[in-house]
Amino acid sequence: MAKPLRVLIVEDSEDDALLLVNALKDGGYEPKFERVDSSEGLKSALSQNEWDCIISDYSMPHFNGLAALRECRKHGADIPFILVSGTIGEDIAVGAMKVGAHDYIMKDKLARFVPALERELADAEVRRKGKRAEEDLLHAHDQLLEAQRITHCGSWEAVSGKLVWSDEMYRIYGVDRESFGHTREALLELIHPEDKHVLLNSFQTTLSGRQDLTTHQFRIVHPDGSIHFVESSSKAYFDSSGKPVRVIGATQDITGRYETEKALRQSEEQFRLISENVADMIAVLDLEGRRIYNSPSYKPILGDPESLRGTDSFQEIHPEDREKIKHIFQETVKTGIGQRAEYRFLSKDGSVRYIESQGSVIHDDQGNVAQIVFVSRDVTEKKQLEKQFLRAQRMESIGTLAGGIAHDLNNVLAPILLSLNIISKKLTDEQSQKMLQMLELTAKRGSDLIRQVLSFARGVEGERTIVQVRHLIDEIGKIINETFPKSISFHTDVPKNLLTISADATQLHQVLMNLCVNARDAMPNGGKIGIKAETIMLDEQYKRMHVEAKPGLHIVITVTDQGVGMPPAIMERIFEPFFTTKEIEKGTGLGLSTVLAIIKSHGGFVNVYSEVGKGTTFKVYLPAQEGAQAAAAEEQEKPPIGNGELILVVDDEASIREITKATLEAYGYSVMTGSDGTEAVAAYATHSNKIALVVTDMMMPYMDGAATIRAIQKMNPKVKILAVSGLKQDGDVVKQETVMFMQKPYTSEKLLKTVSELLHQK
Q: Is the peptide bond before 223 cis (omega within 30 degrees of 0)?
A: no
pLDDT for the residue 410? 59
pLDDT at residue 457 greater than cutoff 70: no
24, 336, 367, 374, 375 from 364: Cα distances, Å: 65, 12, 5, 17, 20
pLDDT at residue 639 greater than cutoff 90: no
pLDDT at residue 447 greater than cutoff 70: no
215-219, 380-384, 543-547: which has the highest mean pLDDT? 215-219
For residue range 399-419, list pLDDT tens digits in order.
666 666 665 665 566 556 556
pLDDT band at 629 (very low <50, low <70, confident <90, very high): very low
pLDDT for the residue 270? 67
pLDDT for the residue 625? 82
The Cα–Cα gap between 134 and 620 comes to 102
Averaged pLDDT, 563-575: 83
In sign, the C-alpha dihedral spanning 565, 571, 575, 580 is negative
- Domain positions in the chain are 3-130, 152-259, 278-378, 384-458, 465-633, 639-759
Query: 627: Cβ–Cβ under 8 A, 6 or more apart, which residues?
Result: none
Name the residue with higher pLDDT: 411 or 439.
439
pLDDT at residue 449 greater than cutoff 60: no
CATH assignment of 639-759, given 3.40.50.360, 3.40.50.2300, 3.90.950.20, 3.30.300.30?
Answer: 3.40.50.2300
pLDDT for the residue 81? 87
pLDDT for the residue 632? 45
pLDDT for the residue 444? 63
Q: How confident is the prediction for the chain on average, in pLDDT?
A: 81
pLDDT for the residue 650? 93
CATH superfamily of 3-130: Response regulator (3.40.50.2300)
Averaged pLDDT, 183-193: 86
pLDDT for the residue 566? 87
Name the residue with higher pLDDT: 97 or 688.
688
Averaged pLDDT, 212-230: 88
* Percent share of the chain, pLDDT over 90: 12
For residue range 281-290, list pLDDT tens digits in order.
888 899 988 9
Asked whether the beta carbons of 205 and 211 are under 8 A apart, the reply is yes
The 3-state secondary structure of 630-687 reads HHHHHHCCCCCCCCCCEEEEECCCHHHHHHHHHHHHHCCCEEEEECCHHHHHHHHHHH
The Cα–Cα gap between 17 and 683 comes to 109
pLDDT at residue 585 greater than cutoff 60: no
Residue (of 551, 432, 529) closest to 484 by Cα position: 529
Whats the size of the chain, residue-wise? Answer: 762
* Percent share of the chain, pLDDT over 70: 82
- pTM higher than 0.85 for the full model? no
- In CATH, 152-259 is 3.40.50.300: no
Averaged pLDDT, 595-620: 88
Residue 221 exposed, middle or buried by CB count within 10 Å (0-12, 13-18, 19+) = middle
Question: Rg of the chain over CA atoms, in angstroms?
Answer: 52
Query: What is the 8-class DSSP label of residue 407?
Result: H
pLDDT for the residue 712? 92
pLDDT for the residue 282? 83
Query: 119: Cβ–Cβ under 8 A, 6 or more apart, which residues?
Result: 103
pLDDT for the residue 722? 93
Averaged pLDDT, 487-498: 89
pLDDT at residue 633 greater than cutoff 50: no
Name the residue with higher pLDDT: 54 or 138.
54
Residue (of 678, 669, 654, 632) closest to 751 by Cα position: 669
Averaged pLDDT, 156-169: 84
Which residues are 609's β-sheet partners? 617
pLDDT for the residue 412? 64
CATH assignment of 465-633, given 3.40.50.300, 1.10.3720.10, 3.30.565.10, 3.10.20.30?
Answer: 3.30.565.10
Q: Where are the strands (E) in 413-526, listed by range?
A: 465-467, 488-493, 501-503
pLDDT band at 617 (very low <50, low <70, confident <90, very high): very high
pLDDT for the residue 267? 67
pLDDT at residue 453 greater than cutoff 70: no
Q: What angle do CA 189, 190, 192 make, to 5 degrees?
A: 100
- In CATH, 278-378 is 3.30.450.20: yes
In sign, the C-alpha dihedral spanning 629, 630, 634, 635 is negative
Q: One fold for both 152-259 and 278-378?
A: yes
pLDDT band at 375 (very low <50, low <70, confident <90, very high): confident
pLDDT band at 531 (very low <50, low <70, confident <90, very high): very high
pLDDT for the residue 556? 92
Averaged pLDDT, 680-701: 90
pLDDT at residue 547 greater than cutoff 70: no
pLDDT at residue 364 greater than cutoff 60: yes
Query: What is the 8-class DSSP label of residue 326?
Result: H
Angle formed by the axes of helices 748-759 and 654-666, nearest 10°: 70
Asked whether the beta carbons of 150 and 168 are under 8 A apart, the reply is no
For residue range 22-66, list pLDDT tens digits in order.
888 888 888 899 988 888 888 888 888 888 888 888 777 778 888
pLDDT at residue 721 greater than cutoff 90: yes
pLDDT at residue 445 greater than cutoff 60: no
In sign, the C-alpha dihedral spanning 434, 440, 445, 446 is positive
Averaged pLDDT, 461-485: 81
pLDDT at residue 674 greater than cutoff 50: yes
pLDDT band at 549 (very low <50, low <70, confident <90, very high): confident
44, 58, 564, 739 from 97: Cα distances, Å: 24, 12, 126, 122
